[in-house]
Amino acid sequence: MTSEWLVPSTRSELIENLVSGVDRYNPSNVSILEDYLYHQIRSEEYDCLANLAILKLYQFNPDLYNPDVVINILIKALTASPMPDFNLCVSLLDERPINSQLDEPDPLPSILPILKGLHALLFRCRFPAFWEIYNSEALALLRDNYTVEVAGFENAVRAVAIRAVRATFTSISSKRLSSYLNLSGAELAAYFQKLGWTVDASTLAVTIPPNPDNQIEATVVQESVKLPQLVKIISHAVAKA
């Protein structure tokens, strides 16, 4: 279950050696990992541990710090919800003193609270609110400068919603699901088709295929007594008989 997270199948041997060996501390390797991050962004791949290795290098070598890379890492981690990836990344962002080395003002201090807010909405399954805020005028900067570059970002957010819905519902109204996915009409229908989910023509309810999380059963776990528990008593009885 976690093995894909620990070692994504798309991770190359070069990256694997960096992530798992002591070379991860070598500042001269940062560009390899940064290139890999941009590869992930272009091709809808995700490798949390490799990205954490970048943040680790930034933590130890403040002069390597590149705010755009950090923001991209956080955007990728955002859609791993409800896994803790986003928090793990933020944990490594040390408080940094006013940085005079950068040519332009550091965008991270203004964007980090926005991303934290978006993460909270996803973690709390407030999907309609997420879309409303994400598409608001105030976040135009984030969309135009960052998420637009991240291939499949909106679909990744939808995948978060789908994970939550799949676990919780056996069927859900199209209207509700549409608000979670920020899709309607033909787009929504196409999305359902891709998932293989069917919509009831009369009720417009979407049926969620059964999976381990949306099947419930009341069980009573009964105690079962194992023979070894009784060994002492039985052997005692035999010895005395």
Partner 1 sequence: MAQQRLSLWNAEEDIEGDVDLSIAMGTYDQTVQYEESVHMHQPQIDESTLIAMQQHIAQQAAFSQIPDVVKSFIVHFHQAVLENNLAEITVAYESGWNKYTEKFYAKTEWPEAELIAPLVNDDPIFLILYRELYYRHVYSRLQPNIDDRFHSYENSCELFNYLLNSDGPVELELPEQWLWDIIDEFIYQYQVFCTWRSKVTTKTPDELMMLADGGPVWSSYSVLNVLYSLMQKSKINEYMVAQREGKSAEEIAEIVGEYGQRPLYRMLGYFSIVGLLRVHVHLGDFTLGLKVMESVELNQKSPFTRVTACHVATYYYVGFCYIMLRRYPDAIRTFVTILNFIMRMRQYHTRSYQYDQISKTADRMYALFAMCHALSPSRLDDNIANIAKERYGEQYTKMARGGSDALAAFEELFVYACPKFIIANPPPYDDPGAINALISAAAEEDESAGSAAVDATQRHLELFLADVAAQLPVPTLRSFLKLYTSLDAKKLANFLDADEEELVQEMMVLKQASRSISRVPGTEGTSLLEGQTITTSDLNFVIDENMVHIAESTIGRRYAGWFIKNTERTQKILDDLKSMPLPAPSKAAALAVAGASAGDNAGQSRPARTGAKVAWGGGVKAA
Q: Is 227 in the site for partner 1 (CB under 8 A)?
A: no
Contact flag: residue 241 with partner 1 (CB under 8 A)? no
Burial 180-199 (b: 16+ CB within 10 A, else e): bbbbeeeebeebbeeeebeb
Looking only at residues 76 through 115 of this chain, which bind partner 1 when binding is defined by CB under 8 A? 82-84, 87-88, 90-95, 97-98, 100
* Binding to partner 1, residues 14-73 (CB under 8 A): 20, 22, 25, 48-49, 52, 56, 59-60, 62
138 near partner 1 (CB under 8 A): no
Q: Does 8 bind partner 1 (CB under 8 A)?
A: no
Alpha carbon distance, N-terminus to C-terminus of the chain: 54
**DSSP 8-state assignment for residue 182:** T
Q: What is the helix (H) or strand (E) element at residue 207, kind and residue range?
A: strand 205-207
Provide the 8-state DSSP code for 23.
G
- Calculate the CA dihedral of residues 200, 204, 210, 213 and round it to 10 degrees: -170
Q: Which residues bind partner 1 (CB under 8 A)?
A: 1-3, 6, 20, 22, 25, 48-49, 52, 56, 59-60, 62, 82-84, 87-88, 90-95, 97-98, 100, 116, 120, 123-128, 164-165, 167-173, 176, 179, 203, 205, 213-223, 225, 229-230, 232-233, 236
